[in-house]
Amino acid sequence: MSGQQHRHKSGFETRAIHAGYEPDAATGAVIPPIYATSTYKQDGVGGLRGGYEYSRSANPTRAALEGNIAALEEGERGFAFASGLAAEDTLIRSVCRPGDHAVIPDDAYGGTYRLFDKVEKVWGLDHSPAPVSDVAAVRAAIRPGETKLVWVETPTNPMLNIGDIEALAAVAHDAGALLVVDNTFASPYLQQPLTLGADVVLHSTTKYCGGHSDVVGGALVVRDLELAEKVGFHQNAIGGVAGPFDAWLTLRGLRTLALRMDRHCDNAEKVVDFLVGHPKVAQVIYPGLAEHPGHEVATRQMKRYGGIVSFRVSGGEQHALDVCAATEVFTLGESLGGVESLIEHPGRMTHASVAGTDLEVPADLIRLSVGIETADDLLGDLERALG
């Protein structure tokens, strides 16, 4: 079965392992080599082999990753970048021009907010924040004729708000804008936004796609060929591409995404069960809980509810800081989506830059990236740390 057939006919796990690469014609190598080359021998001037000319434009290891992630997201084409933010900047400049406008989540990932607020704004792109869980508010934030992008994360970070992708796509399209979904938290295994009407999917592949906390990367997958042409042009023209070593690591991570995500979800559900009703926990935030305001939408559009759990402790900010300092299996650190469990205090760590703004998060909030360790060890660690 060819890589192309895998893109359209096989199950998710099969695509994760086979799409984007055929065993090497010369050697039969089952895994794509790391093509550490910047340039390619031409068979006469302009006689390119397989279209390869220079590795900013295309590299076979990166091409394997790009084909693979496109197949997982059921998109037309994938593009791999040096980081999630490089992917974001390339997308924005592929679609927007000075004088345009974008709607962004009012609890966007801090780096995304900074990119819009400190970089794209200077370049002439304005933005308005709106809550992703409120379709009417997103519609109201659109400026007819000016809004080119409606940008959504779902679930969001760290409050795990849920946006209804189908409804938001309709709102964006009514206004002639594109819907971009940052699918980093869900991963392509739990949610495929393009099948729900989104135009572009974005990943910080640093997180679940890579999955082992050993590589920084980003990806875009687009639904239609016209947009693919624009993004492809800008990927090469701007040049923030994934190198072959990074592409290879990310591809290795994607092969086991389904297995890892199921274990992340299993463990997260156990952690949620443990935290709910714990005397030192004031609130547990997880889309899998029936009382979560986005539960119904999440159930409709996600396969499961993910590996991130946020919770508020009963003893205020100091208690939250103490818990973060006391865990041993959960490592205190930023980032998420790796095999190892991480704990962090968003107010002082990932979200410190939004203190005092509308994006500020509660001081007693803790975010867990629940890893794939033995569940009882995770629960025991939290029990000890909560005191």
- Within 33-52, the residues that bind ligand PLP by CB under 6 A are none
x-marked contacts with ligand PLP along 276-305 as a string, rule CB under 6 A: ------------------------------
Helix (H) / strand (E) element for 3: namely helix 3-9
Q: Does 84 participate in binding ligand PLP (rule CB under 6 A)? A: yes
Among 55, 59, 68, 83, binds ligand PLP (CB under 6 A): 83
Q: Is 182 a catalytic residue?
A: yes
187 C-beta neighbours (distance < 10 Å), count: 26
- Within 327-346, the residues that bind ligand PLP by CB under 6 A are none
**What single-letter DSSP state applies at residue 311?**
E
Secondary structure class of 167 (helix, strand, coil): helix
Nearer to ligand PLP by C-beta: 40 or 151? 151
Candidate segments 6-14, 108-116, 226-234, 288-296, binder of ligand PLP by CB under 6 A: 108-116
- What is the C-alpha separation between 95 and 72, in angstroms, rounded? 23
> Least CB distance from residue 111 to ligand PLP, whole Å?
5
Marked catalytic residue, from 106, 182, 364, 381: 182
Among 68, 157, 161, 187, binds ligand PLP (CB under 6 A): 157
Nearer to ligand PLP by C-beta: 281 or 285? 285
Q: Is 207 a catalytic residue?
A: yes
Marked catalytic residue, from 7, 15, 207, 312: 207
Candidate segments 26-34, 166-174, 178-186, 237-245, binder of ligand PLP by CB under 6 A: 178-186
Q: Does 246 participate in binding ligand PLP (rule CB under 6 A)? A: no
Q: Is 208 a catalytic residue?
A: no
156 C-beta neighbours (distance < 10 Å), count: 23
- What is the C-alpha separation between 387 and 385, in angstroms, rounded? 5
Rg of the chain on CA atoms, in Å: 21
Q: Is 280 a catalytic residue?
A: no
Among 61, 90, 206, 310, binds ligand PLP (CB under 6 A): 206
> Least CB distance from residue 344 to ligand PLP, whole Å?
11
Torsion of CA 202, 208, 212, 217, to 10 degrees: 0
Q: Which residues contact 354 (CB under 8 A, 6 or more apart)?
A: 110, 113, 360, 361
Residue 105 contacts residue 134 (beta carbons within 8 Å): no
What count of Cα atoms within 13 Å lies in the side-chain half-sphere of residue 129? 15
> Least CB distance from residue 129 to ligand PLP, whole Å?
15
Q: Does 74 participate in binding ligand PLP (rule CB under 6 A)? A: no
CA 366 from centroid of its chain's CA atoms: 20
Residue 91 contacts residue 221 (beta carbons within 8 Å): no
How far is residue 94 from each of residues 97, 100, 149, 312, measured CA to CA in Å? 8, 12, 11, 40
Residues marked active site are found at 56, 109, 182, 207
- Return residues touching ligand PLP (CB under 6 A): 83-85, 109, 111-112, 153, 157, 182, 184-185, 204, 206, 216, 218
